Amino acid sequence: MDGHNYQYSREFYDRYAQGQDKSVVNKMQQKYWKTKQTLIKVTGKKEDEHVVASDSDLDAKLELFHSIQRTGMELLKVIEQYQKRICFLSQEENELGKFLRAQGSQDKSRAGKIMQATGKALCFSSQQRLALRAPLSRLHQEVETFRYRAISDSWLTVNRMEQARTEYRGVLLWMKDVSQELDPDLYKQMEKFRKVQAQVRHTKSTFDRLKTDVCEKVDLLRASRCNLLSHVLASYQTTLLHFWEKTSHTMAAIHESFKGYQPYEFTTIKSLQDPFNKPSHQSKKKSRKIMKMLSKNRTTVN
């Protein structure tokens, strides 16, 4: 009975203390300790190790959330760059195919036929490559929607939780300051300590509720992203496999059709010589003849 009466009296006192907390002086004290806790967090000063350790699981969830937030932005940038590279590669491949077809039409030999067939295959490959843009566009849209809805909603909850944690730790600093000057024999000091203690319980309940919300939302966010990527990337994987099957089949058919043709032998020039720096063999012979004629003329004159 005594324990039950004590619990009832404590809850009654907490409601009474919360009603008294609406005074201007009390609000100023709460803002002061909250601002002090904010400065401690911003400046990176060391906090109570026991208080920090109690939030280790929450900090791990926050690190995971920031990783999801950061990699989501990076994934969007990579998809955009990948789409640009596909368009550029397809355009260059198509230009090479047109060039080979044009040159092959002018050459009536077997090499012309090979160039025409290869050019057609390259043009076909460039058209098929553009089919990869459809699943990539869908992936970009899904990731962007996930970022603007799911991640933004979780980010708002994280901000509310951080504000509640700052307020809770600030009230803890306040209670620590009051307890250092506490004299149990003085009624006013005990009354002030009880009010601060009731405020600590109130802020802690708010912080614990938001802490649970953050942990649940981060877990849900991680599972949702895995499901999103596995579902959307399956379509991209199927399209990519079809692209490689079609292009490899076309290239293999060209290779089979031109089997047995006599390959061409090419000679590669490894170095170039400047004719002005090093004279040719014929120019050397001419210069020798001229020198001999000049020497004969000199002997006859003498």
Whether 170 is in a domain gets the answer: yes
What does the pLDDT look like over 285-300, one tens digit per residue?
Answer: 666 666 666 565 555 5
Whether 37 is in a domain gets the answer: yes
Place of tokens 């039950």: 4
Q: Is the pLDDT of residue 209 over 80?
A: yes
What does the pLDDT look like over 227-236, one tens digit per residue?
Answer: 999 999 999 9
- Determine if residue 126 is left, alpha or beta; phi over 0 gives left, psi from -120 to 50 gives alpha, anything else beta: alpha
Q: Is the pLDDT of residue 175 over 50?
A: yes
What does the pLDDT look like over 243-256, one tens digit per residue?
Answer: 999 999 988 888 88
Q: For the whole model, what pTM was predicted? A: 0.65
Whether 99 is in a domain gets the answer: yes
User: What percentage of the chain exceeds 90 in pLDDT?
Assistant: 39
124 within 8 A of 250, measured Cβ to Cβ:
yes
Rounded Cα–Cα distance for residues 164 and 30 (Å):
12
**Residue 240 — pLDDT band, cuts 50, 70, 90?**
very high
Q: What is the predicted pLDDT for the residue at 43?
A: 67
* Higher-pLDDT residue of 238, 46: 238
What does the pLDDT look like over 5-29, one tens digit per residue?
Answer: 444 444 544 454 455 455 665 666 6
DSSP state of 131: G
**Three-class secondary structure of residue 86 per DSSP:** helix
Helices 152-180 & 187-257 angle (0-180, nearest 10): 150
What does the pLDDT look like over 132-156, one tens digit per residue?
Answer: 999 999 999 999 999 989 999 999 9
Whether 3 is in a domain gets the answer: no
Q: Is the pLDDT of residue 171 over 70?
A: yes
**Residue 114 — pLDDT band, cuts 50, 70, 90?**
confident
Q: What is the predicted pLDDT for the residue at 61?
A: 92
* Higher-pLDDT residue of 265, 258: 258
Whether 2 is in a domain gets the answer: no
User: What percentage of the chain exceeds 70 in pLDDT?
Assistant: 63
Rounded Cα–Cα distance for residues 139 and 57 (Å):
32
Amino acid identity, residue 219?
Answer: D
Place of tokens 């203390």: 17
Whether 4 is in a domain gets the answer: no
**Residue 267 — pLDDT band, cuts 50, 70, 90?**
low
Q: Which residues span the domain enclosing 45?
A: 9-301
Residue 228 in tokens = 């999103």
Helices 24-43 & 152-180 angle (0-180, nearest 10): 110
Whether 255 is in a domain gets the answer: yes
Specify the DSSP element, H or E, that contains 35. helix 24-43
Q: Give the CATH number, domain containing residue 187.
A: 1.20.1270.60
Whether 276 is in a domain gets the answer: yes
What are φ and ψ of residue 100, in 5° steps?
-65, -40
What does the pLDDT look like over 49-105, one tens digit per residue?
Answer: 666 677 788 889 999 999 999 999 999 999 999 999 999 999 999 999 999 899 888
As for how many domains the chain has, the answer is 1
Report the first-to-last Cα separation within the chain, whole angstroms: 151
